[in-house]
Structure 1
């Protein structure tokens, strides 16, 4: 040994090899990176096992029997050999024939593959829980002022836990299922194109994966038929989810000079084929404790948002969040094997999942899933490698997380007051300080509209104004309902409205107008895209708030803003039937708001001549006339079909909806159960009579018109379409029907 390295001085180690907690010498890869290296019983170190790298220890093992623990290396080699033999029985025959080459070092990928499958470890996010017991026991002994545990006993504990944590071998049917999915992968050129589109146009303010690393893995997947990635269900599922998400944005990647190139139709979902393949693998990765399974569920949830934000997307997003909590992504890991880049990946994945899930629950009026009190991991930070990313959005990620944390605090009534449900007094300073803290590259006015990051910055501002709307939405409806109800009474009998409620309503209306201004800029710059949940819901809720505020007061720009908002919704809806039905909801509310405005103006004009009782002699007759006219319009709408609804204004649905039912304890004018029941019936009627669906004599949907009904209802792939429409348009945020039994 000295003859081979004459210039190197050999030192005797102060601690014998068998008593060392780490490997006597790191593998070549860890040594070159000066990283800690911990060898596993399979003969591969933890880092190489996690990343599916070739692992080689450049050292001579201690001959057995020369020292006390000399037989341990021999046992490790035997265990690794047994592991390889067990893995050979579950690998597909096609790969067995390819790996029978007469080269000695070639079985290394098989060792990586067997370790991944049998230990439940994925290449991207190998769990280190199997080594948690010894660390915990060591800390416990130190806490009780005891001597450290002998290294041999600690090593035995790690080996014991590894055997306990080892799940059963991968079933052959799972291997065959994975092979069938891989056989349906797109060509390499298509895969690279979809990945590029997903990164440039679908990443937005979130983090899916390390872009350069994932692109390199995808290249290895296609170029190497024996790559362990072809046996990693987590990677395959994540790749399919990425293809599906990228397919939604291919219209933005079509060159302007290519007009005759075929493109997916407006009503179709080009990513559906990839989603159908990916969901067949979710059962195989749902119980895997790795970061990659979180990423796969998360990207699938993002892809499904336009089609089913309240259904499948909500479930996948919740699954990703629960899995992130299960593997401890919400806490800073004390695993010494994790490098800073791996720790940062865990942070970014968790905050991306949490921020989007929380934003969607706020917009859909759903309860909070996770409290910030249990989150101890710090925010994402900037790394030198971010400059090499194709779409470097680390600043967007940080700003989005900070805004979501503010929204989470302000949107949780339990943190305010059980009596008034008013936000804290510093809500304005919290939101304004966030906007002032934005760096120059995240200012919308200085962002190039032609850059791929424009829509990401646009969505930051969109969510910022949505936060103001979410805070004041109840106040707007409170004031509108109060003024309409008391329009017939004497001014001296009208109770004063809390100035805080008026301030919130004013801020909400102002934010809605600014949000519509954002969409005007989006249209002028040519960045308005096909149906997107975030864009559609934002434009819808802003238009609704302007409509409600316009019941009491209409400025010169009112009609222009409303017409622009509805026209913008029509353009985004395209041929998507669910979105088109959502447009009908907003148009129906416009008709109701116009009628409420007319009624309010009539009450104000006649207030000096009508009796103090507030009754009007002409109201019953006018109501009957209106009902008869409504019936004729419904018949005409049913005869014309749904294709004409975009051109014709919607008929008034029923008695004007002038507000919303308030949450428990909201300070407002007293409401009656009769009004609440009437409002509920009006909204429920929107799903049938307002859209020209055939009705029978009793006013119910005609069950004999089955084929005709199918043309009016959204796709049956996702159920609960009425709930989705309420969330899509933002009407559930206004909570018109809350409190009804």
Structure 2
């Protein structure tokens, strides 16, 4: 006897039967080998009240060259210009697509007219402020900020910034870097390295590098090397293993941070930069890079050398970041973090040793710092980490052990906040809520929430790591006195903190500058929350400059700093935007910032770096000069301060750096004056942090309503 189910199935139409024959079936129907309707949930699972699960096929990764994408964008721009000219010639009007291009250039997304109209319709009938947030920075890079400002004030917005000063060109300067120096071999390389010389290299590395990114113990490393050296101190260990790769990287970085490369107001050089010179320590770096692949590929033979390989990879990433090989540096840091994940250090239990914890968190912090600054993808979200942070040694045996006892956890917490910045500020898509109301005003509210996290981080710092405690403990000193190691550690920590504030708040400031430029009038902003964000940006730039002024006078800025030139460039961009923004309609006092004078201080330090051989500082200066020449007001004010006129603009297609005349900042700013480099005082620091207290940025529901009703953000 035939069941009703089978009878109904036989009487079903051929169309319905063919509809059930779908190539994609749920997991339950596949196992039972029954026909699946292909719907989610399918009919069989509905009848049996079972969970319907469809297996998702693995998405294959498709690699597209950036040059191909750039060529397509260039072709689209050319076609739009041709169509615009043709239509303008026919009816005398301009194309809407030409007036509001929707393309992405140099990491900046131009306004989308259709999306703006759509979002405006969903805002309701209430009257809103006409402020639009049209610029969305694709990455938290200083180059993206520079490109956005350049696009706003360029005479022809369709022309991109000079390609020779773009991030990709700076990156290509070292594309053939591995072909510059032949590798002579370990025995020949370490013929001139003695035990005492290696100890000096270790001290140089831990003098200038941020300790939150290193898991090495300098005393243990020096003692281990001592066992490999002869009685006279001559090196006698030349095995091609991971330990020698790490030693090569220590020597390479140690030569980069030699005291001879330190800059200060007293050793200003007037010679052009040695752009043809190979970076110091490059031969040792190339030897380390030649040794590392064998240990990375042969994972089964790593064993106890895994820790050494991770440490060598982190040091190599730092070296590549110093010579501005940004993408390669990010890849090396990603490889180091991936190896720690393969070792399951990210889910290590509580009984894990402190060395393993420091190894993982150092790789994590370094990857977040490098990847976030160059707009590279992140690996391993903070929510997936179950490893506790390294414990704090309350009584370190030596003063130098501060780097692993107290500063390291502070860098870890700052790296976690940096990940939130990347995901919230620079990975935000234009979405709408279920009721059709745009949710983009929450973007700026998220900005305030991140600032609140940063302020809480600063309030929770140990007392001896705060800037006011550092100043009172050190006391006053003469300008020729060198700062000690711990002070460099503390200043670097707070410079990183201020840079996080800058990259969090700069999208809002760029959009406000663009709004004033488009309206051509002195707009007004009644919302106090916006001024809080702008105020925090300028305060962060000011305090960062004060810190670098102090380090500059104390001879603790080296020519090849890890993040120094990037931080100084960001400070200069902040002061330029402060000069571009019209504050006359705001009830605020900005006279204390002295944007032009502060910009001159940034030029003084960057110029000293480039004259000592840092070609990246040369391009940073040229980019700042581009922005100054684009705005007549800044150029006019700078000429009032200078004994001579501003130098003529450099053509877009400039020759290689060897033949480019480098304008000195004294040509358009006041000459260097030691009085400008005042030491940050305790009162100034207290005022800075009092305005950045936690309560200052706690928002109520009324604040959110006011904020969401005032601004309409479009990304």
Q: Is the 8 A contact 1:188 1:222 kept in 2?
A: yes
Aligned mate of 1:455, from 464, 488, 512: 488
Q: Is the 8 A contact 2:629 2:649 kept in 1?
A: no
2-structure distance, mates of 1:253, 1:581:
19
Query: Counterpart in 2 of 1:469?
Result: 502
Query: Counterpart in 2 of 1:529?
Result: 558
Q: Is the 8 A contact 1:233 1:281 kept in 2?
A: yes
Query: Counterpart in 1 of 2:512?
Result: 479
Aligned mate of 1:572, from 609, 614, 617: 609
1-structure distance, mates of 2:649, 2:208:
47
Query: Counterpart in 1 of 2:290?
Result: 280
Deviation at 1:517, TM superposition (A): 2.1
1:137-187, CA deviations, whole angstroms, 9 ceiling, x for partnerless residues?
xxxxxxxxxxxxxxxxxxxxxxxxxxxxxxxxxxxxxxxx99942453223
Query: Counterpart in 2 of 1:581?
Result: 619
5+ residue gaps, structure 1: 1-176, 260-264, 335-339, 600-628, 651-664, 672-738
Query: Counterpart in 1 of 2:220?
Result: 213
1:47-73, CA deviations, whole angstroms, 9 ceiling, x for partnerless residues?
xxxxxxxxxxxxxxxxxxxxxxxxxxx
2-structure distance, mates of 1:529, 1:470:
24
Change (3 A) 1:633 1:402: closer
Query: Counterpart in 2 of 1:422?
Result: 444
Query: Counterpart in 1 of 2:369?
Result: 359
1:338-378, CA deviations, whole angstroms, 9 ceiling, x for partnerless residues?
xx6x7211110111111121022222233332211111101
SS of match in other structure, 1:221: coil
Q: Is the 8 A contact 1:234 1:292 kept in 2?
A: yes
Change (3 A) 1:312 1:323: same
Q: Is the 8 A contact 2:183 2:287 kept in 1?
A: no
1-structure distance, mates of 2:654, 2:342:
52
2-structure distance, mates of 1:406, 1:231:
41
Larger radius of gyration between Structure 1 and Structure 2: 1
TM-score scaled by length of structure 2: 0.54
2-structure distance, mates of 1:386, 1:453:
13
Query: Counterpart in 1 of 2:628?
Result: 590
SS of match in other structure, 2:538: helix
Listed as ranges, the matches of 1:101-116 within 5 Å are none
SS of match in other structure, 1:363: helix
TM-score scaled by length of structure 1: 0.52
SS of match in other structure, 1:209: coil
Query: Counterpart in 2 of 1:329?
Result: 345
Query: Counterpart in 2 of 1:442?
Result: 465
Does 2:391 align with 1:401?
Answer: no
Does 2:343 align with 1:301?
Answer: no
1:92-115, CA deviations, whole angstroms, 9 ceiling, x for partnerless residues?
xxxxxxxxxxxxxxxxxxxxxxxx
1:205-234, CA deviations, whole angstroms, 9 ceiling, x for partnerless residues?
332323232222211222499x99754611
Does 2:664 align with 1:646?
Answer: yes
Query: Counterpart in 2 of 1:368?
Result: 378
Listed as ranges, the matches of 1:504-519 within 5 Å are 504-519=533-548
Deviation at 1:386, TM superposition (A): 4.9
Query: Counterpart in 2 of 1:202?
Result: 209
Deviation at 1:509, TM superposition (A): 2.3
Q: Is the 8 A contact 2:210 2:492 kept in 1?
A: no
2-structure distance, mates of 1:470, 1:327:
33
Aligned mate of 1:381, from 372, 391, 402: 391
SS of match in other structure, 1:298: helix
1:678-718, CA deviations, whole angstroms, 9 ceiling, x for partnerless residues?
xxxxxxxxxxxxxxxxxxxxxxxxxxxxxxxxxxxxxxxxx
Range with greater deviation from structure 2 (272-281 or 498-507)? 498-507
Q: Is the 8 A contact 2:256 2:280 kept in 1?
A: yes
Deviation at 1:298, TM superposition (A): 0.6
Listed as ranges, the matches of 1:610-629 within 5 Å are none
1:174-201, CA deviations, whole angstroms, 9 ceiling, x for partnerless residues?
xxx9994245322333223222322344
Change (3 A) 1:214 1:386: farther
SS of match in other structure, 2:287: helix
1-structure distance, mates of 2:183, 2:662:
47
Change (3 A) 1:590 1:649: farther
Query: Counterpart in 1 of 2:97?
Result: none
1-structure distance, mates of 2:337, 2:386:
15
1:592-637, CA deviations, whole angstroms, 9 ceiling, x for partnerless residues?
24458989xxxxxxxxxxxxxxxxxxxxxxxxxxxxx999974998
Query: Counterpart in 2 of 1:248?
Result: 256
1-structure distance, mates of 2:562, 2:198:
25
Higher relative contact order (CA 8 A, sep 6+): 2
- C-alpha RMSD of matched pairs (Å): 4.2
Query: Counterpart in 1 of 2:576?
Result: 547
SS of match in other structure, 1:464: helix
SS of match in other structure, 1:379: coil
2-structure distance, mates of 1:365, 1:294:
23
Deviation at 1:241, TM superposition (A): 0.7
Query: Counterpart in 2 of 1:410?
Result: 421
5+ residue gaps, structure 2: 1-181, 268-272, 432-438, 475-481, 584-589, 638-645, 669-707
1-structure distance, mates of 2:394, 2:498:
32
2-structure distance, mates of 1:576, 1:541:
17
Q: How many residues align?
A: 435
SS of match in other structure, 1:377: coil
Change (3 A) 1:198 1:428: closer
Deviation at 1:525, TM superposition (A): 3.0
Change (3 A) 1:522 1:375: same
SS of match in other structure, 2:596: helix
Q: Is the 8 A contact 1:413 1:422 kept in 2?
A: no
